[in-house]
């Protein structure tokens, strides 16, 4: 039986504040510093989810301007939250937007893996959906990806679909990601994320759009190195037959599955039992994984490897 993996996770949002104004965003809200997640408030929450087979703590944040007077505090919050998670034997995965090389080097010491969506590299989107999103300039996203490679950070990136790009723009984005990975060998997986409106549609996605996504998955698998896993958020695919076609085309992983999808809050994840039942029809088996793949353990410090080894030795991964 073929396997599809996922990481049982819980998401902590540092802040929903963001200096980008992407026209499609379901995440960003205006907020104040005093509404940011604080370490004291999170400690009790993490205690509640211990011993529930949740290995990954996804630390998520809107992007804080590089020159913001609160950026130092923001970075300290991320760092201390990672340390708290590690002290409780959780595995922190960081996705907080663009970081400087120095910031990434600091956070590498307290995180298992990191992520950043490339989205799309075509500059035409800077005149449309990214008109007021300074950090979405393509070379800045690629620079972040390259720095992660230089620092040997196990990394997740992704492509956002249906935001105004042409088909060939996605191919070009895959090729650029592949080139960086071939140099540094650090990209664990690429998320293929269809744009989903915050107002959940009652009708299923059109047959035409289904065909386009399946075609894109097959094309991505042909472009990208086999060492990079293809990931698709299953909650964004409402039709079970459509989901199975995506797996057949080359999807290998469902990513982190948590009680709430903070990026697409209107789209709820199915329970493990319901998802397994769907997969059974296509002769697929759902399997748990950690937020770091075994071949990237060597990129971690000895102290971080110790926490990973705890899960490998003492927790069931099936």
User: Are 253 and 231 a contacting pair, CB within 8 Å?
Assistant: yes
User: Are 164 and 123 a contacting pair, CB within 8 Å?
Assistant: no
Q: What are residue 4's DSSP bridge partners? A: 286
Interacting residues of 105 by C-beta distance below 8 A, sequence separation 6+:
151
**Rg (alpha carbons) of the chain, rounded to whole number:** 19
Task: For residue 125, give both structure tokens.
Answer: 């989107």
Residue 206 φ then ψ, to 5°: -65, 155
**Cα angle at 121 between 131 and 188, to 5 degrees?**
125
Residue 148: enclosing H or E segment and its boundaries?
helix 138-150
Q: Which residues are annotated as a binding site for [4Fe-4S] cluster?
A: 18, 22, 25
Q: Which residues are annotated as a binding site?
A: 18, 22, 25
The burial of 151, by beta-carbon neighbours within 10 Å (0-12 exposed, 13-18 middle, 19 or more buried), is given as middle
């Amino acid at each position: 039986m073929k396997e599809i993996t996922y990481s049982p996770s819980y998401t902590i949002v540092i802040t929903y504040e963001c200096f980008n104004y992407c026209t499609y965003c379901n995440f960003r809200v205006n907020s104040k510093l005093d509404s940011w997640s604080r370490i004291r408030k999170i400690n009790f929450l993490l205690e509640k989810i211990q011993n529930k087979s949740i290995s990954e703590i996804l630390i998520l944040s809107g992007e804080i301007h590089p020159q913001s007077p609160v950026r130092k505090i923001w970075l300290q919050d991320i760092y201390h939250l990672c340390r708290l998670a590690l002290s409780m034997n959780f595995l922190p995965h960081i996705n907080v937007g663009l970081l400087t090389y120095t910031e990434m080097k600091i956070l590498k010491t307290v995180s298992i893996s990191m992520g950043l969506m490339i989205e799309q590299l075509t500059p035409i989107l800077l005149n449309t959906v990214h008109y007021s999103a300074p950090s979405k300039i393509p070379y800045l996203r690629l620079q972040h990806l390259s720095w992660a490679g230089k620092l040997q950070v196990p990394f997740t990136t992704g492509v956002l679909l249906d935001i105004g790009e042409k088909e060939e723009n996605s191919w070009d984005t895959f090729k650029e990601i592949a080139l960086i990975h071939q140099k540094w060998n650090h990209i664990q997986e690429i998320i293929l994320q269809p744009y989903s409106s915050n107002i959940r549609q009652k009708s299923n996605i059109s047959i035409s759009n289904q065909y386009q996504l399946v075609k894109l998955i097959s094309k991505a698998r042909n472009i990208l190195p086999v060492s990079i896993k293809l990931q698709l958020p299953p909650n964004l695919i409402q039709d079970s037959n459509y989901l199975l076609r995506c797996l057949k085309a080359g999807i290998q992983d469902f990513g982190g599955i948590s009680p709430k999808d903070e990026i697409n809050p209107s789209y709820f994840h199915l329970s493990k039992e319901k998802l397994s039942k769907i997969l059974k029809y296509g002769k697929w088996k759902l399997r748990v994984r950690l937020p770091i793949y075994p071949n990237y353990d060597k990129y971690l410090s000895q102290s971080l490897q110790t926490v990973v080894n705890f899960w490998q030795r003492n927790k069931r991964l099936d």
